[in-house]
Amino acid sequence: MTIHTLKNKNLLLLESISGSRSFGLATENSDTDIRGVYYLPKEDFFGLNYIPQISNETNDITYYEIGRFVELLQKNNPNILEVLVSPEDCIQYKNPLMDLLKPEDFLSKLCKDTFAGYAISQIKKAKGLNKKILNPIDKERKSILDFCYILQNNGSIPLKKWLSENGKIQKKCGLVSIDNTKGMFALFYDESGDLKYKGIIQNEEANQVSVSSVPKEEKSIAYLFCNLDAYSTYCKDYREYWKWVSERNDDRYNVNKNHGQNYDSKNMMHTIRLLQSCEQIFKTGSLNIRVENRDELLDIKAGNWSYEAVMDKAESLIKSIEYYHSVSQLPDQPDLQKTTKILIEIREKLY
């Protein structure tokens, strides 16, 4: 089943322009996204060829089978609710049966989790991006030696500095664990190499220091502390940072970098819009996706707001949502029996 087949067989129930154009946030560079609803031929629906969703390669065009569409509406999925309340000037085709699906039968207190919950996850993501932009990690990976320190004069100095200042090499060192301590070792040194110490690490990729077998008569020359927790945190941050670098959209990243605000401004614009939609749902009991503050939102997208100002606005909206949610007359969740019955009625008329 393809989009071409849907149209040729007249299986569409709804087709609408969505995204920035439906929100009233389109600019000259905005793409045109299409969302819609279809039904399957009777033999496919009753047989073994149920297809819940059909998209093009870029997902700019996506259609949902009517059953899947209602299922997502019952879960208060933001994207699907936005399709249901598409502005009239965005609707390209609408079967009269779609009028049986009314927003008031689906809007519920679940929207706090689906709208605001998703928005909050995006705020956390923005904070993570902010951290990555402000704290880049060198491509050259540190080794565990960079997290080892020698105790000295009631303090400590980095192991690498100590080795350099004392003319010693890590391969000739031997470590012995100190009982009842974490990460503490007695350090021995074998100038001749006869004792065959393992060194502090056996290779640069080692994830822990090595301990050696040291004769009892040998005397330690220093005490070493290995901060393994800090090394583990660094390895995790290193993996995440360079994974982000490899996967990021460089054009979008450069826009964000150029405006100097250290956050994904387009993403945060839509996050604020989602929070405003959520506030509106609990404040009015309805959803209108055509924004009333286009200039303000596009100002955020352009990077004209500081990171702190955007976060302050988001936190203010979250507080407002909490209040209006607490006094809202909306049901805790949609009436599943009623809305499923509507779906059955639609199917009966189609088949």
pLDDT in tens, 121-156: 877 766 666 566 667 888 899 999 999 999 999 999
Average pLDDT of span 70-74: 98
Domain-ending residue, one of 174, 208, 233 = 233
Specify the pLDDT at position 267: 84
In which band, very low, low, confident or very high, does the pLDDT at 29 lie, cut at 50, 70 and 90?
Answer: confident
Residue 110 pLDDT exceeds 80: yes
Do 44 and 175 fall within a single domain? Answer: no
Do 132 and 79 fall within a single domain? Answer: no
Do 193 and 224 fall within a single domain? Answer: yes
Average pLDDT of span 253-266: 62
Do 183 and 319 fall within a single domain? Answer: no
In which band, very low, low, confident or very high, does the pLDDT at 264 lie, cut at 50, 70 and 90?
Answer: confident
Average pLDDT of span 153-171: 95
Do 116 and 255 fall within a single domain? Answer: yes
Q: Which two tokens stand for residue 73?
A: 């509406």
Within-domain flag for 241: no
Within-domain flag for 15: yes
Determine the structural domain holding residue 91 and report its residue range.
Answer: 1-103+334-351
Residue 100 pLDDT exceeds 60: yes
Within-domain flag for 239: no
Lowest mean pLDDT of 40-54, 235-249, 337-351, name the range. 235-249
Closest C-alpha among 57, 106, 97 to residue 78: 106
In which band, very low, low, confident or very high, does the pLDDT at 251 lie, cut at 50, 70 and 90?
Answer: low
Residue 270 pLDDT exceeds 60: yes
Within-domain flag for 242: no
Specify the pLDDT at position 256: 53
Do 181 and 220 fall within a single domain? Answer: yes
Specify the pLDDT at position 266: 83
Closest C-alpha among 231, 194, 187, 192 to residue 212: 187
Do 126 and 259 fall within a single domain? Answer: yes
Give residue-wise pLDDT tens across range 324-345. 999 999 999 999 999 999 999 9
- Please calculate the CA angle 135-139-144 and round it to the nearest 5 degrees: 90
Specify the pLDDT at position 2: 87
In which band, very low, low, confident or very high, does the pLDDT at 262 lie, cut at 50, 70 and 90?
Answer: low
Q: What percent of the chain has pLDDT over 90?
A: 74
- CATH no. for residue 26? 3.30.460
As a whole number, the mean pLDDT across the chain is: 91
Average pLDDT of span 157-166: 96
**How far apart are alpha carbons 196 and 334 in whole angstroms?**
72
Do 20 and 46 fall within a single domain? Answer: yes
Within-domain flag for 278: yes
Beta strands in the chain (DSSP E): 12-18, 33-38, 53-55, 61-65, 91-94, 148-152, 155-158, 173-177, 184-189, 222-226
Residue 258 pLDDT exceeds 70: no
Q: Are strands 148-152 and 222-226 parallel, antiparallel or unpaired?
A: antiparallel
Within-domain flag for 244: no
Domain-ending residue, one of 181, 198, 233 = 233
Average pLDDT of span 301-319: 90
Specify the pLDDT at position 151: 96
State the residue for tokens 């500095």: 161
The total of structural domains in the chain comes to 3
Lowest mean pLDDT of 7-11, 203-207, 251-255, name the range. 251-255
Do 255 and 129 fall within a single domain? Answer: yes
**How far apart are alpha carbons 8 and 77 in whole angstroms?**
29
Do 8 and 86 fall within a single domain? Answer: yes
Within-domain flag for 238: no
Residue 113 pLDDT exceeds 60: yes
Domain-ending residue, one of 233, 261, 285 = 233
Say what angle helices 294-301 and 265-284 make with each other, to 10 degrees: 150
Average pLDDT of span 211-221: 94
Residues 6+ positions from 91 with CB-CB distance below 8 Å: 14, 15, 16
Within-domain flag for 240: no
246 exposure class (CB count in 10 Å sphere: 0-12, 13-18, 19+): exposed
pTM (whole model) above 0.75: no
Do 5 and 97 fall within a single domain? Answer: yes
Do 99 and 111 fall within a single domain? Answer: no
Residue 252 pLDDT exceeds 80: no
DSSP 150-211: EEETTEEEEHHHHHHHTT--GGGEEEEEPTT-SSEEEEEE-SSSTT----S-SSTT-SS---
Lowest mean pLDDT of 168-177, 193-202, 246-255, 335-344, name the range. 246-255
Average pLDDT of span 95-115: 97
Lowest mean pLDDT of 15-29, 200-214, 252-266, name the range. 252-266
Closest C-alpha among 49, 17, 53, 10 to residue 35: 17
Residues written for the chain: 351
Specify the pLDDT at position 129: 61
